[in-house]
Amino acid sequence: MNKKESRIAIIGCGALTRIFYIPALKKLNKIPYALVDPNVNGIGDLVKESGAKTVSPSIEEISGAIDAAIVATPNYLHMSQAKFFLDKSKHVLLEKPMAATKREGRELIDSSKQSGAVLQIGMMRRFWKINKAIKKIMEEELLGKLQSVSMEEGGVLSWPVQSTAIFDPMQSLGGVLMDTGSHTLDLLHWWVQDEDYSLEYSDDNHGGVEADCSLGIDFNKTGIKARVNLSRIRRMPDMFFLKGTKGWIKLKPYGNVFESSDRRIEKYIYNQYPVEELKQQVFLDLFTEQVQSWLSAIEQGTKPEIDAESVLPSIRMIEQSYKLRRQMEYAWN
Ligand SMILES: NC(=O)c1ccc[n+]([C@@H]2O[C@H](COP(=O)([O-])OP(=O)(O)OC[C@H]3O[C@@H](n4cnc5c(N)ncnc54)[C@H](O)[C@@H]3O)[C@@H](O)[C@H]2O)c1
């Protein structure tokens, strides 16, 4: 049975909200009830553009009037703000990273279970059609037994942040690993499904946040070896490479661009997603699908597409990486 339309608040009106959440809501013909940001004076244009009924600097002020919140604030606020809403039975779409530790992530899941509020995590990359196709390829073992995964991504940071949070370790809770890595490692875990591993991690942190990092992972149950290199200061190949006993697939982290060892794999992908569909999908579609999936879970009781539980393994890996951290070795040392 259809329930009433949810009154949505967007918490944190920086670059992400401006570039993706307001346009995604617009595409879905949804008007947010409230926009929340301490910089109330700086978001007048967004209030106008979105049609929001109210604007406030504080979540406490609007919580009684809303049903659901999109939390897109600096990372250090994710846990406390999401918990604040979930404990009040308000549904939450929480931006990545879900939390800094597995324990905190679990706490959020428990709050959502106790209150019955829907918690969906913003792992929007899982909506790329090629990434969904790879999930199926893994399940059906089309590459045979997966042997290795290499994931290299990044470039000189150019995202137009509206606050300095990303450069402050107290607010960002980490650098490129916490930021880009929460997407990359989420895909790795989603595809590989092996939580028994040994891990090596190094980064270039010299007291602020890391801009370059490298992980080496030996998955014990599956025997898969993975290497993940991320950067926000140099141009990376932007390439994921998955190799199995019966074939390989290469893909870009963005867009549905791929190459594979043979026609069998290509045909399998194109059967699910025709070439035109793959070409047409853009970033805004991912955010729109993400919001749509969350709203359907709230209003129609469907299962949220990104199960919060399934995000915990990547949070655990980030947490362990920082604990095991070694200084990155430079070629010139
Ligand atoms: N899914 C993705 O691909 C993706 C991309 C970019 C950012 N993000 C995530 O979105 C979040 C925001 O990133 P951004 O790039 O928009 O950052 P930003 O610095 O541009 O914006 C952060 C905003 O939060 C506001 N804010 C600060 N304290 C607040 C509070 N107590 N209550 C409400 N608002 C507050 C700031 O004033 C600012 O407007 C981060 O967690 C980031 O990891 C996700």
Cβ neighbourhood burial of 95 (10 Å; 0-12, 13-18, 19+): buried
**Given ligand 1 and candidates 163, 176, 177, 185, which is best to mutate, with the most ligand atoms within 8 Å of its CB?**
163
165 ligand 1 Cβ < 6 A: yes
37 ligand 1 Cβ < 6 A: yes
In a domain, 308, yes or no: no
User: How far is Cα 21 from Cα 121, in angstroms, rounded to an integer?
Assistant: 14
Do 18 and 118 fall within a single domain? yes
Do 31 and 165 fall within a single domain? no
The predicted model gives 261-281 an average pLDDT of 97
Looking up residue 143, the CATH number of its domain turns out to be 3.30.360.10
pLDDT of residue 3: 57
In a domain, 2, yes or no: no
Do 79 and 155 fall within a single domain? no
- Sheet strands side by side (includes 8-11): 54-56, 34-36, 8-11, 68-71, 91-94, 119-121
Q: With a cut of 90, say whether residue 4 has pLDDT above it.
A: no
Task: Provide the residue range defining the domain that includes 57.
Answer: 8-124+287-302
**Given ligand 1 and candidates 162, 166, 285, 286, which is best to mutate, with the most ligand atoms within 8 Å of its CB?**
162
Do 168 and 64 fall within a single domain? no
Do 170 and 318 fall within a single domain? yes
| pLDDT tens digit sequence for 273-322 | 999 999 999 999 999 999 999 999 999 999 989 999 999 999 999 999 99
13 ligand 1 Cβ < 6 A: yes
In a domain, 307, yes or no: no
In a domain, 309, yes or no: no
How many C-beta neighbours within 10 Å does residue 29 have?
Answer: 6
186 ligand 1 Cβ < 6 A: no
72 ligand 1 Cβ < 6 A: yes
Do 165 and 192 fall within a single domain? yes
50 contact partners, CB below 8 Å, separation of at least 6: 10, 22, 25, 26, 31, 32, 35
**Given ligand 1 and candidates 11, 13, 16, which is best to mutate, with the most ligand atoms within 8 Å of its CB?**
16
Do 12 and 115 fall within a single domain? yes
Looking at the structure of the chain, the number of domains it has is 2
In a domain, 76, yes or no: yes
Ligand 1 centre to CA of 57 (Å) is: 14
Looking up residue 81, the CATH number of its domain turns out to be 3.40.50.720
> Is-cis flag, bond preceding 160, omega within 30?
no
Do 146 and 119 fall within a single domain? no
Ligand 1 centre to CA of 219 (Å) is: 33
Q: With a cut of 50, say whether residue 1 has pLDDT above it.
A: no
| pLDDT tens digit sequence for 208-261 | 999 999 999 999 999 999 999 999 999 999 999 999 999 999 999 999 999 999
Predicted TM-score of the model (pTM): 0.97
Minimal CA–CA distance to 74: which of 183, 156, 147, 168?
168
The minimum-distance atom of ligand 1 relative to the CA of 123 is 1
3-state secondary structure of 36: strand
Q: With a cut of 60, say whether residue 2 has pLDDT above it.
A: no
The predicted model gives 50-78 an average pLDDT of 98
User: How far is Cα 219 from Cα 179, in angstroms, rounded to an integer?
Assistant: 23
pLDDT of residue 202: 98
In a domain, 333, yes or no: no
pLDDT of residue 148: 98
Q: Are 15 and 35 in contact (CB under 8 A)?
A: no
To 5 degrees, how large is the angle CA 14–CA 18–CA 22?
A: 130
Ligand 1 atom 19: residue of nearest CA: 163
In a domain, 332, yes or no: no
The predicted model gives 161-181 an average pLDDT of 97
pLDDT of residue 286: 98
Do 189 and 64 fall within a single domain? no
Token readout for 322 is 């920082």
Do 201 and 165 fall within a single domain? yes
Ligand 1 centre to CA of 276 (Å) is: 33
Do 259 and 132 fall within a single domain? yes
In a domain, 90, yes or no: yes
Do 184 and 218 fall within a single domain? yes
**Given ligand 1 and candidates 41, 73, 93, 127, which is best to mutate, with the most ligand atoms within 8 Å of its CB?**
73
